[in-house]
Structure 1
């Protein structure tokens, strides 16, 4: 029976140096040989993901991509691509308004492969480069007036204030949005149905794989929806405690110790069964 695996990138499949280790590459090759449908899932834009898999030279091994936290699906074999559940501009504006006078937050709009920001400093350039986004300084409110929807609102801040950000995000008086931390210094706001869980369900339906045969690996709160949706939701040993508590299992090793590759070998591959 067909099986499907969906893997988050940062701090899950990738090492802290943003590379795919030899052991992880071998695990992907063995999964492919075993007939498992392979997908990579990320908050990155689809354009960024496509650049990444080309740079890592794993294109022949990957069947699908889920970008923008599950909002954009691409079947790499057929080229089919769909962008689902974009955030209405009036709700995006409400989020920007809420943080307008918060001096420790840098507000951004991410749309496609571009990160629009009010102040393009060196820190913003470097962070955009990490996620292969094209930074552009612009008037965010003017941008929203010209567009009915956007992919998401992104807030950047000092990682030491993550708990403070989590508390403040719960106070935004806007219905129909979801918010989550995608990195220690990043918080995202999107359409309530634009998440890795709904994206994973779409991918499973596309490939005709029942959810009980789906494996999902992640580490952060933006991975929680797909970990809960999958028949086998696995959190990394280096993952957030809140995610570990809701996962079906936790890897024994971290992303820098080939935790995903070791788990796949022990629990998914026929040779490791």
Structure 2
């Protein structure tokens, strides 16, 4: 029976904050061997398509779970999507403007950010995210939005972003950068993974996932074998069935050899 393995990006396949900007040769070899055995390899990420590097897009993955499960692609076919309601997006944007919050709206292929949001552009530049698929000229009525990220510069702005959790959203906060991300609480990497398994008719016990962050918890719990990276927090590790080595020590390779092969 074929297996399906899901990989988070940041802190798992790569770690830009520590200078690991590409998949290492050792990890690539391990993944290629899994594919050669007939298994399926997927990315499961909070990122939208616009934030995925050309290297990852061209790597040869069998599909992607984007924007924390709100979009699912299998072999280049979009099999599932669930956008945030337009009237809700408009209301939130109005409040972003009120609190002087810089924001990006994450769509299917493109993401959308006003040209004057210089600090937010600089933030994404620091992670090597290209502006190729970021549009500054857009009409909110013409686009579908699956996730939002924001830069909050005041306590009031932070409080507003966190308050969205009371209205059907999940909200993650990177304290060091004051970046928030907001997405529907109905969509998670776990729900996206279930879409993939159902589409491919693969039983849950034949599924695996590697992750390190809070937004990986649901997927580590839902798959047959959730594997936390060595650099994950103790909280994340507590939701995994197995723990592998640090991303800086090819933790994916170690995990594949120990828990999958």
TM over 0.5: yes
Counterpart Cα distance in 1 of 2:185 and 2:49: 20
Cα deviation for residue 95 of structure 1 reads 3.5
Which whole-Å deviations, capped at 9, do the CAs of 1:75-132 have from their partners, x for residues lacking one? Answer: 22xx3223411111232244445554545x4222222322323733155145067334
Question: How many residues of Structure 1 are paired with residues of Structure 2 in the alignment?
Answer: 253
Q: Does 1:109 align with 2:102?
A: no
CA contact (8 A) 2:220 2:240 kept: yes
Counterpart Cα distance in 2 of 1:199 and 1:10: 18
Task: Identify which range, 65-74 or 23-32, moves more after superposition.
Answer: 65-74
Q: What CA RMSD, in Å, does the superposition of the two structures yield over aligned residues?
A: 3.1
Counterpart Cα distance in 2 of 1:224 and 1:93: 30
CA contact (8 A) 1:43 1:182 kept: no
Cα deviation for residue 180 of structure 1 reads 2.7
SS of 1:44's partner is coil
Q: Does 1:85 align with 2:82?
A: yes
Cα deviation for residue 263 of structure 1 reads 1.0
Q: Does 1:237 align with 2:234?
A: no
Within the candidate set 245, 266, 273, 2:258 is matched to: 266
- Counterpart residue number, 1:69: 68
C-alpha distance 168-250 of structure 1, shift in aligned 2 (>3 A): farther
- Counterpart residue number, 1:5: 5
Task: Identify which range, 189-198 or 170-179, moves more after superposition.
Answer: 170-179
SS of 2:163's partner is coil
- Counterpart residue number, 1:195: 188
Mark the runs of 5 or more structure 1 residues left unpaired by the alignment: none
C-alpha distance 115-184 of structure 1, shift in aligned 2 (>3 A): farther
C-alpha distance 80-187 of structure 1, shift in aligned 2 (>3 A): same
C-alpha distance 49-127 of structure 1, shift in aligned 2 (>3 A): closer
Within the candidate set 150, 159, 164, 1:155 is matched to: 150
Counterpart Cα distance in 2 of 1:184 and 1:212: 37
TM-score, L = length of structure 2: 0.82
C-alpha distance 266-173 of structure 1, shift in aligned 2 (>3 A): closer
